[in-house]
């Protein structure tokens, strides 16, 4: 039921029987009559001018099951929030909170805690691991949150945890804290992976048994050999649909990357020590590929297609490189000079069914490609001829002076 706080007589009539209440209006404080709604089950407050909530309010509304304060400007929660023992759903999204009271850990019936877009939030209560019934912990765009409390690993009922921050401190979680969170679904970003010094701990994270839809693996470079072992140990579930690897400090990619047969979207960014791309042409479901900031890569050849010229000279009529790829983007490839047009063309030819027409039905490499984008590749000398003649819907070449000059002279 929607109620305007300016209508006090109406509030008096409702306060004894109301179970669901939405407060609207332009009040800067909670109206005193709200304290009498002791039987409320859900409360939504749509008043951006409210900047504080009195502790007494939570002492009175102890029957609440759902509470939405996301449309206010509350910057601090009182410790009395711990009195809401029946609370199951709590929305604090987009509030200017820097921290949450430790008493929040008393809400043992809580199933959903929404903290999306709380950009000032710096820490979560150390006792958060007590909330054993928690299923959804929403942390999208909590940019100031630097670590998660160690007890997160005890929340074995979690379905949603979009952010996991690896920590070196005793109070924070190490990568093995993911071990028991096998009900996780949807998206997960794991950051701070450069802090993992023992690949055995990464194996304990058991990502292969977590049926995630998308996964971000975020490093800040780290020791090359260690990072190569860590990323190899973080093999995800084979049904993964989207993967991003960011600031990976190793020079080789994990062997499992070509086993992700359901992968549709792949982003490899700031992998500055990698001199060569993995054989991504073997991914049968891949539709979007973004590669950027490979500072040590000078040449791209048949290895990207997944073709070995030494063993696949005659090709295979059953193999199609990048069979579903629609969008291919390279950006900030500052040392990239050669997109090996000779060996790439030869490989594509060896993978092509003989035909007088070069069309999508006969092509054996990137038959579905519709968009090719190249940004900030200042040394790149040429685009493979086979890609130039494809019926692309979009070809973007930006800040690639050699290529742009070639196009102008044609």
The CA-atom distances, in angstroms, between 364 and each of 52, 92, 325 are 63, 51, 12
Task: Give 353's pLDDT tier (boundaries 50, 70, 90).
Answer: very low
- Percentage of the chain exceeding pLDDT 70: 87
Residue 168: the pLDDT is: 80
- Residue 204 predicted with pLDDT over 90: yes
- How far, CA to CA in Å, does 346 sit from each of 301, 320, 351? 10, 14, 9
d(CA 215, CA 185): 10
Residue 360 has pLDDT above 80, yes or no: no
DSSP letters for 277-288: ---GGG-TT--E
If you write DSSP's letter for every residue of 182-206 in order, what string do you get?
A: TT--SEEEEE-GGG---HHHHHHT-
Q: What is the pLDDT of residue 389?
A: 81
Q: Report d(CA 100, CA 98) in Å as an integer.
A: 7
- CA separation for the pair 62, 284 (Å, rounded): 54
pLDDT band of 350, cuts 50, 70, 90: low
Counting residues of the chain whose pLDDT is more than 90, the rounded percentage is 73
pLDDT band (50, 70, 90) for residue 17: low
Q: What is the pLDDT of residues 366-400, one digit of tens each?
A: 999 999 999 999 999 999 888 888 889 999 999 99
Over residues 18-30, the pLDDT tens digits come to 789 888 877 788 8
pLDDT confidence of residue 347: 55
pLDDT by residue (tens digit) across 145-185?
988 998 999 999 999 999 999 998 888 899 999 999 999 99
At 44-54, the pLDDT tens digits run 999 889 999 99
Q: How far, in Å, CA of 33 to CA of 12, rounded?
A: 7
How high is the pLDDT of residue 145? 93
User: Cα–chain-centroid distance for residue 68?
Assistant: 25
**In the prediction, which pLDDT does 163 show?**
95
Is the model's pLDDT at 5 over the cut of 80? Answer: no
> For the structural domain made of 1-145, what CATH number should be given?
3.80.10.10
Q: How far apart are CA 405 and CA 408, in angstroms?
A: 5
Question: Going edge to edge, which strands form the sheet with 163-165?
Answer: 163-165, 187-191, 214-221, 242-248, 265-269, 288-292, 327-331, 371-375, 394-398
Q: Please report, for residues 162, 241, 322, 374, the alpha-carbon distance to residue 266 in angstroms, rounded to integers and kept in the order given.
A: 18, 9, 12, 16
Tens digit of each residue's pLDDT (9 = 90 or more) over 74-103 = 999 999 999 999 999 999 999 999 999 999
* Contact yes or no for 378/401 (Cβ under 8 A): yes
241-294 tens-digit pLDDT: 999 999 999 999 999 999 999 999 999 999 999 999 999 999 999 999 999 999
The pLDDT of residue 310:
56
pLDDT score at 354: 37
pTM value?
Answer: 0.89
Q: What is the mean pLDDT of the chain?
A: 89
What is the average pLDDT across 64-80?
Answer: 96
Q: Rounded to an integer, what distance in angstroms lies between the CA atom of residue 366 and that of residue 323? A: 6
| The predicted structure's pLDDT at residue 362 | 47
SS3 342: helix
Mean pLDDT across 298-303:
92
């Amino acid at each position: 039921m929607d109620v305007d706080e300016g209508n006090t007589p109406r509030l008096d009539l409702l306060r004894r029987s109301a179970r669901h209440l939405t407060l609207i209006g332009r009040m800067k404080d909670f109206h005193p009559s709200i304290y009498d709604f002791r039987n409320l089950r859900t409360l939504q407050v749509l008043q951006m001018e409210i900047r504080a909530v009195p502790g007494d309010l939570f002492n009175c509304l102890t029957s609440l099951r759902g509470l939405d304060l996301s449309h206010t400007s509350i910057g601090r929660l009182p410790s009395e929030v711990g009195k809401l023992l029946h609370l199951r759903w709590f929305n604090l999204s987009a509030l200017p909170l820097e921290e949450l009271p430790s008493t929040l850990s008393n809400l043992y019936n809580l199933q959903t805690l929404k903290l999306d877009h709380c950009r000032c939030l710096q820490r979560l209560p150390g006792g958060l691991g007590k909330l054993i019934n928690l299923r959804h912990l929403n942390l999208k765009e909590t940019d100031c949150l630097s670590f998660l409390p160690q007890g997160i690993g005890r929340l074995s009922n979690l379905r949603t945890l979009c952010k996991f921050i690896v920590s070196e401190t005793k109070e924070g979680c190490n990568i093995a804290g993911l071990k028991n969170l096998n009900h996780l679904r949807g998206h997960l970003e794991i950051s701070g992976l450069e802090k993992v010094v023992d690949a055995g701990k990464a194996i304990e994270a058991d990502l292969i048994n977590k049926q995630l839809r998308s996964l971000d693996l975020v490093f800040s470079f780290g020791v090359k050999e260690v990072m190569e072992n860590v990323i190899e140990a973080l093999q995800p579930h084979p049904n993964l649909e989207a993967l991003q690897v960011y600031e990976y400090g190793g020079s080789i990619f994990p062997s499992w990357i070509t086993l992700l047969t359901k992968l549709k979207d792949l982003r490899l960014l700031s992998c500055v020590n990698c001199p060569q791309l993995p054989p991504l042409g073997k991914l049968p479901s891949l539709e979007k590929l973004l590669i950027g900031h490979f500072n040590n890569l000078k040449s791209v050849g048949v290895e990207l297609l997944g073709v070995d010229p030494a063993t696949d000279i005659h090709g295979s009529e059953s193999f199609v490189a990048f069979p579903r790829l629609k969008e291919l983007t390279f950006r900030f490839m500052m040392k990239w000079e050669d997109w090996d047009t000779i060996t790439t063309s030869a490989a594509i030819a060896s993978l092509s069914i003989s035909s007088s027409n070069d069309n999508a039905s006969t092509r054996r490499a990137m038959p579905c490609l519709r968009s090719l984008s190249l940004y900030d590749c200042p040394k790149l000398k040429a685009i493979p001829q086979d890609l130039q003649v494809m019926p692309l819907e979009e070809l973007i070449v930006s800040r690639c002076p050699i290529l742009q000059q070639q196009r102008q002279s044609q």
